[in-house]
């Protein structure tokens, strides 16, 4: 069986998902921008997984891949073997508005998601098998713009188009996407409790998705053979 490759696996949901698969004895490759940091996080996750006393001892590797420099992606991924699950979750934050449009930030984030994600799939295509699956991360800002989401809303909507074209081009490999509302316990929101409270008040369940909720939904999309070309919202009924 091939490995689980998580592009953007050094923090947040990517890191939680890496732990999910390691805990189940699956070999994982995580990437971030810095090789040393990625290697350190991989070692930390593998040590935690071994502590759960799995029958199979999984391996975890960390690699440096910068999605904002797509021409270098194929070389950075050259050492990866067969891939069973491919997760594209990396993001850089951007608060753009049309009134104060920051072109450099917009180009960087748009390149990262809409070119970088494609370039990763292109580079790893020959290492996927018919039973492999791919998961792309977007967000509900595609449907619900907010002040500062000009680029984020645009790229998240783009992820739906990307999912559809990849599902056709890679068939029978399954390609799904997950679009979450603000994740309550995400490291990014840790120092912004008022924003988290405001966001939670806008759902029918009066709570926000947790990392555990999102990991559970991601694993379903990745592992359930009946799910293909699904753009799943995880938003607690926004
Ligand atoms: N958190 C939320 O509340 C929320 C809400 C809506 C949607 N989402 C979506 O969910 C996904 C995960 O969000 P998160 O908050 O869990 O992310 P996060 O904790 O900010 O982690 C981002 C990951 O992306 C990597 N990364 C950053 N810049 C990169 C680049 N230029 N090239 C390659 N990798 C890069 C980071 O690695 P290094 O820092 O090690 O380089 C890190 O592993 C994102 O796609 C986001 O759009 C999240």
- Side-chain half-sphere exposure of 156, counting CA atoms within 13 A: 25
Q: What is the pLDDT of residues 15-42, one digit of tens each?
A: 999 999 999 999 999 999 999 999 999 9
Q: Which residues pair with 136 in a beta bridge?
A: 88, 177
Mutate to test the pocket of ligand 1, among 91, 183, 193, 217 (most ligand atoms within 8 A of CB): 91
Q: How far is the CA of 8 from the centre of ligand 1 (A)?
A: 6
Residues 133 and 160: their CA atoms lie apart, in Å, by 16
Question: What residue ranges do the domains of the chain occupy?
Answer: 3-234
- Indicate which residue's Cα is closest to atom 11 of ligand 1: 89
- Give residue 57's pLDDT: 75
Note the pLDDT of residue 157.
98
Residue with tokens 């806008």: 202
Residues near ligand 1 (Cβ within 6 A): 8-14, 32-34, 37, 65-68, 89-92, 112, 137, 139, 180, 182-183, 186-189
Which one of 3.40.50.150, 3.40.50.720, 3.40.50.10470, 1.20.1200.10 gives the CATH number of domain 3-234?
3.40.50.720
- The DSSP 8-state label assigned to residue 190 in this structure reads T
Burial class (CB in 10 A: 0-12, 13-18, 19+), 125: middle
pLDDT in tens, the chain (238 residues): 899 999 999 999 999 999 999 999 999 999 999 999 999 999 999 999 977 766 677 899 999 999 999 999 999 999 999 999 999 999 998 999 999 999 999 999 999 999 999 999 999 999 999 999 999 999 999 999 999 999 999 999 999 999 999 999 999 999 999 999 999 999 888 888 888 888 899 899 999 999 999 999 999 999 999 999 999 999 999 8
CA distance 67 to 64: 10
| DSSP letter (8 states) at residue 188 | G
CA distances from 141 to 17, 149, 180 (A): 22, 7, 9
* Ligand 1 pocket mutation pick from 12, 138, 203, 221 by most atoms within 8 angstroms of CB: 12
Give the number of the atom of ligand 1 that is nearest the alpha carbon of residue 141: 6
pLDDT in tens, 42-58: 999 999 997 776 667 78
């Amino acid at each position: 069986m091939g490995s689980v490759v998580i592009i953007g696996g050094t923090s947040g949901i990517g890191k939680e998902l890496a732990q999910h698969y390691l805990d189940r004895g699956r070999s994982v490759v995580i990437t971030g921008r810095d090789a040393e940091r990625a290697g350190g996080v991989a070692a930390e996750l593998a040590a935690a997984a071994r502590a759960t006393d799995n029958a199979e001892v999984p391996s975890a590797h960390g690699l440096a891949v910068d999605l904002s420099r797509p021409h270098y992606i194929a070389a950075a991924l050259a050492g990866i073997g067969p891939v069973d699950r491919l997760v594209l979750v990396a993001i850089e934050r951007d608060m753009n508005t049309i009134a104060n449009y920051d072109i450099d930030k917009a180009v960087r984030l748009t390149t990262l998601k809409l070119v970088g994600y494609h370039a990763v799939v292109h580079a790893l295509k020959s290492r996927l098998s018919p039973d492999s699956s791919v998961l792309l991360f977007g967000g509900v800002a595609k449907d619900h713009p907010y002040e500062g989401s000009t680029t984020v809303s645009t790229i998240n909507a783009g992820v739906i188009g990307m999912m559809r074209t990849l599902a056709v081009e890679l068939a029978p490999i399954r390609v799904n996407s997950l679009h979450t509302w603000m994740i309550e316990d995400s490291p990014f929101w840790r120092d912004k409790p008022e924003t988290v409270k405001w966001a939670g008040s806008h759902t029918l369940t009066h709570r926000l998705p947790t990392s555990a909720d999102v990991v559970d939904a991601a694993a379903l999309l990745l592992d359930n053979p009946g799910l293909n070309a699904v753009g799943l919202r995880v938003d607690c009924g926004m």
